[in-house]
Structures are given as structure tokens and as C-alpha cells.
Structure 1
């Protein structure tokens, strides 16, 4: 029986990726770089999980060699820009998410997060959208900077499962991307896949259920997956 839902964050809880893209471009401009990631390029770069990893990959694509210290400084600046934008209310929860969370809590379902994004990004989004008591809603949070390998590796889901003290068959992951589906399935979790703007063309095969949006989420899906 499924009694726990583990959410991805970027693209799943909220359509964050466009704000991430704008924050990356602002960070590049602020240090005098002429890089500009347009929507088409960013869609491709999202195949690489993790902001620092994405910057490193882009530098490699340009024929350069990435300096880890420079990448870390640049990503830190980008994170500060992004969290300021989120704090200002630039990123709401996706339609249907708040209603699903409220329904799950009424049913006594445990909620958790397993994401490749960093803890400052998590805190900014959840404080902005759910308020200061968000830790009561999500008592377990697995972030990308807590594990050695990011999605599609299963590490962050395995971390969440350890913290929850739950076997994977009691849990379901909600994901929006191919890498997320692969990570959750590798950790033994069934997946509800929800299409998002930047993963609209992703191959989500392997998910138990595929939905066009988060408004289609319902508690009834959990019993269907359990049966």
C-alpha cells in the first residue's frame, strides 16, 4: 500500500526552469560573459542535471576547460539571483499541486522531496509558496548537494527512503523528466509522470501513470498504482 509521495521539485512542484534560465543569463552578464542560453539551448542543457554540471557541460561544448572554482562561484551567483526572484514571488506552485498536497495530508499520506536542486533553491521556493511551516508538510527533503551522484542516478531517492524509513513499494515518486523517472525507477519506486514546459518532449516511459499536467493529480491514483 502506498502511504508516501516523494516529489521532484523543478518542473514538478513548480515551473521553475524559465526562471533558472533567466538567472543563469543574468549571472553570466554580471561577470562579463557573452553567454546567452536561449530556450532551445536550455532545453538541451537540462539533459544534464545540476547547475554546476550544466555550466561545466556548456563550457566543454564550447571547446573550453572548466575551472571548478570558477564554476562554483558562477553557480553561487546564479543561485543568489534565482532565490531573490523566487522570494519576490516569480514562481508559483503549478496548478493542482496545492490541492493535491492538501488532499494527501488529509489522508495521512507522508510527503517528501527528492530533487537535484540545492537546498537554498528549495527553501526559497517553499517559503514563498507554502510559508514558513513547509517543513511540517515535507519532513524529509533530499537535495542535490546531499548526494554524490545526481539524477538519473538513484542516490537522492535512496537518501529520501533512508530518512523516511520506508521501503520503495510503500512510496510513489512524482516526476516531470526522463532523468527523474530513471532515478526513481532505479531506486525501486513507481512513478507518476507529469508533463512540464521544458520536459514536454521527454520520453517518460517507465512511469506507472503519465499525466498532461498537475491538475490531473488525484489521491485515487495512489490506490490504482498499489493494486
Structure 2
């Protein structure tokens, strides 16, 4: 059983939090558009704006609305998004993405301490499982007591639904657990579910403001690669570990 003073559970977002995935997603979208004969191309500036909308199908729909288009109906959007997901998964399965600093270390520490792990994300379940297998090993999806992903809930972040979905399955006190996020939408979702939240900014969220986070860091840190605090206090030694999370929860 885990120490009662340690977090009751660790709940991770995926894109931008576990790994810097968004460029792989952007390229997969553009490949899918080209295959479908669409003259759409999302450059980095456009994609940064589109990331304000959570969910890939929702992002495609929003792009159409911005451009004043009605090229694709909902079934066509779903098919296009499914192809994009397949392209992304192939990219990940090829071993071309790695976890951000400190992620694997902290996950392994939590497992050793008996602390439940969970995922709460708006990305597709196939994307989550592919990333976990490619970076942590074939059995890694089974390490997580709950995986909330994709369309498992009606409303996506910043609504708290996906976090509440996961918390229901974990059966833990949200106030004693920690969520890990990289975006304002994710932070708002986690906090609305009652979860203290640690933010590690990512490539596409470095211009956002994270009011209410436990702290805002550049990453979780490694012994040879200490993290920096962008807001709040950095952990001792520049490494986020279970004692550091305990101390944040204590305030």
C-alpha cells in the first residue's frame, strides 16, 4: 500500500505532457489532407491557434468554420480523422517519439510505491496506447488503472468530464491526487475536477498563462537535467519525485 502522505494517484495528460507529440500530429493531419485531395495545410502558426480547440475531429470542424467552408460533413470528418490517427500511430510505432524528461522515472517511482496511475486526455485511445507501448514497453498500457481518452465523454477539455470519468474509476480523493498538464485547457479541466495540477509547458503552450497551477515547470527533470520553475517553486534538486509532490500537496 502507498504511504498515506504521498499522492493518492497520478493522472497524466498525453499530448505535450508525456511527450512532445504535436508536431507528429500536425504532420499526420497534413498527410491525411493531402491523401483526401484537400488543399489544406496547417503550418505551425495555424496549428498553434487550432490547438485552442481540443479533439482532432473538433479541430477539423473548427478549421472549416474559420475558413467559411462546408466541404466535409460529420461522417466525412470522422473518416478523415480516423486516417489521420492511423498515420500518427504509424509514426509513433516507428519509434520516432520519446518521452519528456522525468516522465518514465516518475511513472516507475509511482509503480514501485503502489500509487495508481491514470491517463486523462482528449486524444484517441489508439494514440495513447501506441505512445505508451513505443516508449515504455509492450505492457505499459496495463500499468494504468484507468485510461480516459478520445470520445469516452461528451465534453472535452476544458470541461472536467474526462478527469471525472477517470476519478470515478480510480475511486481516490482528487484533492490528494496530482494531475499533470501542459495547456490552459487541461489545467482548467483538472482543477474543475478538484485536482491539484502541475504544469510542464510544451512547444505549443509556452505562451499560455497557468493561473492556479501547483507550479509551472519546463519539464519534470532528471538528475543530470534539472527542471526550471517558470512560476511557483522548483522541486529540490530540480527533479519532480514523490516527496516533491507530497510537499506541493501540503502547500
- Identify whether the pair has TM-score above 0.5, normalized to the shorter chain: yes
> Structure 2 regions of 5+ residues with no counterpart?
222-226, 228-239
Q: Which residue of 1 aligns with 2:121?
A: 115
Partner of 2:20: 15
When structure 1 is superposed on structure 2, of 100-109 and 51-60 the one drifting more is 100-109
- Which of the numbers 205, 210, 215 marks the counterpart of 1:204? 210
Distance between the aligned counterparts of 1:170 and 1:136, measured in 2? 23
The structural deviation recorded for 1:223 is 1.1
2-structure distance, mates of 1:90, 1:145 = 26
Secondary structure of 2:97's partner?
coil
1:176 corresponds in structure 2 to 182
Distance in 1 (alpha carbons) for counterparts of 2:32 and 2:141:
30
Aligned residues between the structures:
227
Where does structure 1 lack aligned partners over 5 or more consecutive residues? none
Question: Which residue is 2:133 aligned to?
Answer: 127
The aligned residue for residue 140 of structure 1 is 146
Q: Structure 1 residue 24 and structure 2 residue 24: aligned? A: no
Residue equivalent to 2:219: 213
Q: Find the counterpart in structure 2 of residue 97 from structure 1.
A: 103
Q: TM-score, normalised by structure 2?
A: 0.88
Q: For residue 84 of structure 1, what is the aligned residue in structure 2?
A: 90
1:191 aligns with 197
Query: What pairs with 1:58-77 in structure 2 (closer than 5 Å)?
Result: 58-65=63-70, 66-77=72-83
The answer (yes or no) to whether the contact 2:196–2:249 under 8 Å persists in 1 is: no
Structure number with higher relative contact order (C-alpha < 8 Å, ≥ 6 residues apart): 1
Deviations 1:54-79 (A, max 9, x none): 00000000101341011111101100
Aligned counterparts of 2:117 and 2:101: Cα–Cα separation in 1: 18
Match of 2:58 in 1: 53
SS of equivalent residue, structure 1 residue 192: strand
Q: Measure, in 2, the Cα distance between the counterparts of 1:187 and 1:139.
A: 18
Greater share of residues in helix: 1
1:6 matched residue in structure 2: 11
Q: State the alpha-carbon separation in 2 of the partners of residues 44 and 209 from structure 1.
A: 24
Query: Separation in 2 of the partners of 1:34 and 1:90?
Result: 27
User: How far, CA to CA, are the matches of 2:23 and 2:141 in structure 1?
Assistant: 26
The answer on whether the counterparts of 2:15 and 2:21 sit within 8 Å (CA) in structure 1 is: yes
CA-to-partner distance for each residue in 1:60-117, whole Å, 9 max, x for gaps?
Answer: 0010134101111110110010000000012111121111111222222211110011
Please state how far the C-alpha of 1:220 moved relative to its aligned partner.
2.4
Shift of 1:145: 1.4
